[in-house]
Amino acid sequence: MRVQLAKKMKINEAKAYVAEKLGVTLEELCDVVAMSDVREDMGLGLAHVEPNAGANAGMEAKFRIQKILGIQVNSVERFKERAGLK
């Protein structure tokens, strides 16, 4: 959904874009198990683990998502601004 809004794409275009950026197929993108492995390998955070667990790096994961997908994530931009990184 973030890509749809940020890049003004329709759902199928956005899915194809994300799949390409993550290096997976559309089928893998829709597969919960496959995507859990991809998210863990790429450090993109996991929805099914405790918020403070090592595999779910919260803000760190959002920074990676922003970089990999080439989109702006508001919480990352606010963090940078408040931390003086901008």
* pLDDT by position in tens, the chain (length 86): 999 999 999 999 999 999 999 999 999 999 999 999 999 899 888 766 665 565 556 889 999 999 999 999 999 999 999 999 87
pLDDT at res. 46: 77
pLDDT at 49 (0 to 100): 62
CB neighbours of 63 closer than 8 A, spacing ≥ 6?
76
- Contact between 3 and 17 under an 8 Å Cβ cutoff? The reply is yes
CB 37 within 8 A of CB 46: no
Q: What is the pTM assigned to this prediction?
A: 0.81
Residue 45 has what pLDDT?
84
Q: What is the largest CA-CA distance in the chain?
A: 40
